[in-house]
Amino acid sequence: MRFDIKCMLLIAISICLYTPSVFAQHTVSRIEGSNRYEVAVNTAKRGWQEAPAVVLVGGDAYADALSAVPYAYQQGAPVLLTNAGSLSGPLKTGLQQLKTKRVTILGGTASISENVVKQLKAMNLSVSRIQGKNRYELAANVAKHMKSASAAVVVNGSAYADAVAIAPYAAKQGYPILLTDAKGLREETANLLKNKAVKRTIVIGGEASINKMAFQKLPSPVRISGANRYEVAAQIAKTYPMMTSQTFISYGYAYADAAAAASIAAKQGQTLLLTDAQTVPDAIRKVIGAKQKSAFSVVGGTSTVQTNVITQLKNAVLGETIFIDPGHGAQDAGAIGNGLLEKNINLEVALKLQSRLNQAGALIVMSRTSDTFDSLQTRVNKGAQASADIFISIHANANDNSGANGTETYYDTTYAATNSIKLAQQVQPRMVSALGTKDRGVKTAGFYVIKYSRMPSILLETGFVTSPIDASILKSTTAKDRLASGIATGVSNYFDAK
- As annotated, the active-site residues are 461
- Paired with 156 in beta bridges are 180
What is the x/- site pattern for Zn ion, positions 154-193, by CB under 5 A?
----------------------------------------
Q: Specify whether the CB–CB gap between 322 and 491 falls below 8 A.
A: yes
> Which lies closer to Zn ion via its Cβ, residue 263 or residue 393?
393
> Which lies closer to Zn ion via its Cβ, residue 90 or residue 463?
463
Give me the phi and psi of 410, to 5 degrees please.
-110, 145
Tally of CB atoms within 10 A around 46: 17
> Which lies closer to Zn ion via its Cβ, residue 262 or residue 465?
465
Pairing relation of β-strands 340-341 and 336-337?
Answer: antiparallel
Give me the phi and psi of 326, to 5 degrees please.
-70, 115
Binding to Zn ion, residues 264-293 (CB under 5 A): none
In 3D, which of 205, 215, 216, 226 has the Cα closest to residue 159?
Answer: 205
Q: How many Å apart are CA 40 and CA 95, to the nearest integer?
A: 11
Least Å from the CB of residue 320 to Zn ion: 25
Q: Distance from first CA to last CA of the chain, Å, rounded?
A: 38
CA distances from 313 to 307, 401, 488 (A): 10, 47, 16
Least Å from the CB of residue 20 to Zn ion: 30
Tally of CB atoms within 10 A around 183: 9
Least Å from the CB of residue 399 to Zn ion: 12
What is the x/- site pattern for Zn ion, positions 353-392, by CB under 5 A?
----------------------------------------
- Paired with 322 in beta bridges are 364, 390
Among 334, 337, 406, 463, interactor with Zn ion by CB under 5 A = 334
> Which lies closer to Zn ion via its Cβ, residue 253 or residue 448?
448
Least Å from the CB of residue 462 to Zn ion: 10
How far is C-alpha 261 from the chain's CA centre?
Answer: 15
> Which lies closer to Zn ion via its Cβ, residue 36 or residue 343?
343
**337 contributes a contact to Zn ion by CB under 5 A:** no
What is the x/- site pattern for Zn ion, positions 303-332, by CB under 5 A?
------------------------x-----
Q: Specify whether the CB–CB gap between 56 and 103 falls below 8 A.
A: yes
Give the ranges where 386-476 is alpha helix by DSSP (H): 417-435, 448-452, 468-475
Residue whose Cβ sits closest to Zn ion: 395
> Which lies closer to Zn ion via its Cβ, residue 90 or residue 327?
327
Give every CB contact of residue 149 below 8 A, 6+ residues apart in sequence: 173, 174, 175, 176, 196, 198
Pairing relation of β-strands 407-411 and 457-464?
Answer: antiparallel
Least Å from the CB of residue 463 to Zn ion: 12
> Which lies closer to Zn ion via its Cβ, residue 107 or residue 327?
327
CA distances from 192 to 154, 177, 178 (A): 12, 11, 9
Least Å from the CB of residue 373 to Zn ion: 13
Q: Extract the runs of DSSP E, i.e. beta strands, from 304-412.
A: 321-326, 336-337, 340-341, 363-366, 390-397, 407-411
CA distances from 483 to 159, 420, 488 (A): 45, 20, 9
Least Å from the CB of residue 344 to Zn ion: 12
Least Å from the CB of residue 435 to Zn ion: 17
Q: How many Å apart are CA 393 and CA 346, to the nearest integer?
A: 9
> Which lies closer to Zn ion via its Cβ, residue 257 or residue 408?
408
Q: How many Å apart are CA 386 and CA 382, to the nearest integer?
A: 6
Least Å from the CB of residue 484 to Zn ion: 17
Q: How many Å apart are CA 238 and CA 141, to the nearest integer?
A: 30
Binding to Zn ion, residues 385-424 (CB under 5 A): 395
Number of amino acids touching Zn ion (CB under 5 A): 3
> Which lies closer to Zn ion via its Cβ, residue 24 or residue 333?
333
Residues that bind Zn ion (CB under 5 A): 327, 334, 395
